[in-house]
Structure 1
Amino acid sequence: MIDQKNAAIAAFALRLSLGVMYLAHSIILKYMTFTLVGTAQFFESLGLPAALAYLTFAAEALGGVALVVGFKSRLVSLALIPVLLGAFWVHAGNGWVFSAANGGWEYPLFLIVASGIVALLGNGAFAIESAFGKSAQPVRA
């Protein structure tokens, strides 16, 4: 039998940490460190349209906020998986370890799995949706 209270707290912890990671990658990395123009140039160097960099930034920033506050976590987590698949593609040729030159693929893969788990669990505890009368509890098996 699953302890539902602990499961809700665990889902919250995963949702919160994933949301903070998305915010860090969008705000700190893409906006503050590389700048949006620099990020767009990097995307272009990969053969991707520059506009995709701005869409990626927006998806990560808005998705990160939604996850942190617990708004539509299942949907947001699923919607962000394509962004992570793009990151996986970028780093796939660099080897396993993310500390390798240009980063490895294990971190994006881990985040894909974590996003999938949040999509399965839902908001967990302390979600803004619970203030609107929606269940913040994970789905029971």
Structure 2
Amino acid sequence: MANSSPTLTAAPHSAPPHAYDAGLLVLRLVLGLTIAAHGSQKLFGWFDGGGIDGTGQFFSSLGYPSGRTMAVIAGLSESLGGLGLVLGLLTPLAGAAVAGTMINVVWIEKGHGLVGGYEFPLLILAGAAALALAGPGRFAVDRMLPFLRAHRLLHGGAALALAAVFALSTLLLRN
């Protein structure tokens, strides 16, 4: 009796699975290290950053209540989210932490227009959301965690929805 189940074959021009994994690794490393550096500016003043006090004053000037607390939240979201992306650790949550912060940045920068305004945070937002949805690829710590070994689109979608709720709530708190 012939096998009646359809066989899946790769499209003639599709990349092999390891190529996708390598591409996701490159995206995770560049995006994660970039945003972790921005977080360290806020938390520690590294890379000519303002530290918690300077960033807190800046956030207060933008109308955020308790600017110092918001600086800590943004700094931790960027630093821990970025490092999570680098390692491929809890990738849906790491991507959502970065995306949620970038929603606020895009909103604040929208008055400056796309070029010279919000194009960089929008690119980071899109990359973080893509990683949250697609997963970290094969070269990631998540592959060792039983509940995230097989990345589920639902995990990424739920994490991004939660990030959007928190980001929009934060924007509503502004004066």
With the shorter chain as reference, the TM-score category is 0.7 to 0.9
- Are 2:113 and 1:95 aligned? yes
Aligned partner letter, 1:68: V
Q: CA deviation at 1:82?
A: 1.6
- Are 2:141 and 1:128 aligned? yes
In structure 2, the residue matched to 1:83 is 101
- Are 2:62 and 1:46 aligned? yes
Give the ranges of 4+ consecutive aligned residues of structure 1 lying more than 2 Å apart after TM superposition: 95-98, 129-139
Sequence identity (%): 32
Q: CA deviation at 1:126?
A: 2.1
Where in structure 2 are the equivalents of 1:20-31 lying within 5 Å? 20-27=33-40, 29-30=41-42, 31=44
In structure 1, the residue matched to 2:169 is none
Tell me how far apart the structure 2 counterparts of residues 137 and 16 of structure 1 sit (CA, whole Å).
19
Give the structure, 1 or 2, with the largest relative contact order (CA under 8 Å, sep 6 or more).
Answer: 1
Q: Which runs of 5+ in 1 are unaligned?
A: 99-103
Q: Which runs of 5+ in 2 are unaligned?
A: 1-10, 154-175
Tell me how far apart the structure 1 counterparts of residues 35 and 28 of structure 2 sit (CA, whole Å).
11
In structure 2, the residue matched to 1:101 is none
- Are 2:95 and 1:58 aligned? no
Q: CA deviation at 1:123?
A: 1.1
For 2:125, which of 106, 112, 131 is the aligned residue?
112
For 1:11, which of 12, 16, 24 is the aligned residue?
24
Q: Is the 8 A contact 1:97 1:106 kept in 2?
A: yes
Q: CA deviation at 1:18?
A: 1.3
- TM-score, normalised relative to structure 1: 0.83
- Are 2:83 and 1:69 aligned? no
Q: Is the 8 A contact 2:82 2:98 kept in 1?
A: no
| SS at structure 1 position matched to 2:108 | helix
Q: Is the 8 A contact 1:78 1:116 kept in 2?
A: yes
- The alignment yields a C-alpha RMSD, in angstroms, of 2.1
| SS at structure 2 position matched to 1:105 | helix
Q: Is the 8 A contact 1:124 1:136 kept in 2?
A: no
Aligned partner letter, 2:108: V
Aligned partner letter, 2:52: L
- TM-score, normalised relative to structure 2: 0.68
